[in-house]
Structure 1
Amino acid sequence: MLALFKSKPLLSDGEVAWLVDTFAWACENFDGQHFLSQTKIIEPTGQYFPDQVSSVEQMAQTVFARVRDYAGMQAWPLQLVNPAHLPAQQSIPAFSFSGISRGETAEIAVAPSQPVLLSYNPNQINQPQDLVASFAGTLATIAIYQKGVLPPGGEAQIAAASDALACFMGFGVMMSNTVYQFKGGCGSCYNPYANRQAALSEEQTVFMHALICYFKPEVDGKKHLKPHLKSVYKKAHKQIQEYIKGTPNPLLLMLKEQSGA
């Protein structure tokens, strides 16, 4: 009888397994030590984005520089260009690092012949969280292709893994807040072209964000989430606690110990 009153887990066992496996894949391939010691949970506040701008181009460049640096990709050969100057197709040029690939001390060992070009969606200028999340997702995708290591599930899961990796880089708040944009009561205020294209669901994205925050116990990961996502975060955190309590995964147990979670 008591089983009737047990709350349903946020995600299925299969969804949890893939997200946890993808988290482990990110730790193993995208500098897990940087994640543990340097990655911050980026919030949509003036503390993280204090710059004053006077044009669309300046805002795009300024936000991109912030996102790039918070992602630990300062050393990467990246160049933001106006949408009109972005080639229809481009491949990631070959380059490699002498050691770690993320953080202020990362150094390129083999430089590419040209930088990786990326751009922005002008429609997102008035939706800065979408702009930040889109930049984070693009950087994550570039990192995956540069590394050349497919995520769990293979090539078919690259888009979903990019969303997860963006959360791993610290952008889970904005990634979660921009999965779905409500149309609201004013049709003229809603611009579907400004929305980012999410590959993970709201619940999956919030779970990944909560998993990242689990190893950042000093952070309140739900503080800046949309109101309806705060309860989702709490359910995710509860499911993560139960999962880690029973896991034999040495990586998760090591991170738990090192982070003091």
Structure 2
Amino acid sequence: MLALFKTKPLLEQAEQQWLIDTFIWAVENFDASFFTKHTQIILPTAKYFPDSVSSIEEMATNVFTRVRDYAGMSKWPIQLVAPQQLQPQVFPHFEFSEQLRGDTSQLIVPPSHAINVSFNPNQINQPQDLVASFAGTLATILIHHVAVLPPGGKDYLPQAADAVACFLGFGVMMSNTVYQFKGGCGSCYNPYANREAKLSETHTVFMHALISYFKNDKESKKHLKPHLRSQFKKAQKEIKALVDNSANPLLLAYAPN
């Protein structure tokens, strides 16, 4: 009888565990020091994106620069090019000295060429999609460079890229752009502006809640879409209980005091 009143978990245990394992994998491979000292929860506000722009190209460049810098990848050999200039490319070999991300990272083996990335012009009027798309691209580059497969292996690389984008601090935008409602005006809806999400809304919100927990975030919930806030709150509660009962030293080490 009492089972009727038990709250159903936000995710199945295996799904929850994959996200937790992916967080641990990210910490172990993508510069734990930068995550601890410098990673911020980036919000879709003028505080984080204060630039005034007068063209599509200027907006794309400014947003890309902000996302790249917040991700700690300003020293990486990555350049933004116009969509018509993007061509198939071979990922170059390069190496860093010690720090993988941040201002102190240094290339000791320069690449033969830069990694070109571009943008979707349709996303100019949907800036959160633009930010999330850039974050996902940088996460993919980070994974490709480190060349360590995520939990579950190569079949989970697309999902891992979305999770790593949250790890880089962009969980609000990643969560808000998984699905775009068509709204009441069909002519206002542009399906070509939507990013191609690989994690569901619930999985993305849980991953964002996990990062927010370890960064002691108090602000991001109000910037999520209204229907996602209850999921975020539930995820926070479940994550706290999980960490409080965990014997994993890494999870305990990152838990806020």
The C-alpha deviation readout for 1:111-151, integer Å capped at 9, x for no partner, is 00110000000000000000000000000000100111111
Letter aligned with residue 22 of structure 1:
T
Give the 3-state SS of the residue equivalent to 1:223 in structure 2: helix
Shift of 1:218: 4.3
Give the 3-state SS of the residue equivalent to 1:25 in structure 2: helix
Does the 8 A contact of 2:82 with 2:118 survive in 1?
A: yes
Does the 8 A contact of 1:206 with 1:229 survive in 2?
A: yes
Please give the alpha-carbon distance, in whole angstroms, between the structure 2 residues aligned to 1:167 and 1:195: 18
Instruction: Map 1:1-261 onto structure 2 (within 5 A).
Output: 1-87=1-87, 89-256=88-255, 259-260=256-257
The C-alpha deviation readout for 1:14-64, integer Å capped at 9, x for no partner, is 001100000000000001121111000000000000000000000000000
Please give the alpha-carbon distance, in whole angstroms, between the structure 2 residues aligned to 1:251 and 1:109: 30
| RMSD of aligned residue pairs (Cα, Å) | 0.8
Shift of 1:219: 2.8
Gaps of 5+ in 2: none
Shift of 1:2: 2.3
Q: Which runs of 4+ in 1 moved over 3 A?
A: none
Shift of 1:200: 0.3
Shift of 1:81: 0.2
Please give the alpha-carbon distance, in whole angstroms, between the structure 2 residues aligned to 1:181 and 1:147: 32
Please give the alpha-carbon distance, in whole angstroms, between the structure 2 residues aligned to 1:109 and 1:60: 29
Letter aligned with residue 194 of structure 2:
N
Give the 3-state SS of the residue equivalent to 2:223 in structure 1: coil
Letter aligned with residue 44 of structure 1:
P
Letter aligned with residue 172 of structure 1:
G
The C-alpha deviation readout for 1:193-220, integer Å capped at 9, x for no partner, is 0000000000000000000010122433
Deviates more, 1:193-202 or 1:1-10: 1-10
Percent identical: 63
Please give the alpha-carbon distance, in whole angstroms, between the structure 2 residues aligned to 1:192 and 1:45: 24
Shift of 1:91: 2.2
Does the 8 A contact of 1:41 with 1:219 survive in 2?
A: no
Letter aligned with residue 85 of structure 1:
Q
The C-alpha deviation readout for 1:138-166, integer Å capped at 9, x for no partner, is 00000100111111111111110000000
Relative to the length of structure 2, the TM-score reads 0.98
Letter aligned with residue 72 of structure 2:
G
Please give the alpha-carbon distance, in whole angstroms, between the structure 2 residues aligned to 1:96 and 1:184: 47
Letter aligned with residue 107 of structure 2:
I
Letter aligned with residue 14 of structure 1:
A
Does the 8 A contact of 2:43 with 2:220 survive in 1?
A: no
Please give the alpha-carbon distance, in whole angstroms, between the structure 2 residues aligned to 1:179 and 1:20: 20
The C-alpha deviation readout for 1:151-186, integer Å capped at 9, x for no partner, is 111111111000000000000000000000000000
Please give the alpha-carbon distance, in whole angstroms, between the structure 2 residues aligned to 1:181 and 1:135: 17
Count of paired positions: 257
The C-alpha deviation readout for 1:71-130, integer Å capped at 9, x for no partner, is 00010000000000000x222100010001101111111000110000000000000000
Shift of 1:3: 2.1
Deviates more, 1:5-14 or 1:216-225: 216-225
* CA shift in 2, pair 1:193/1:218, >3 Å: closer
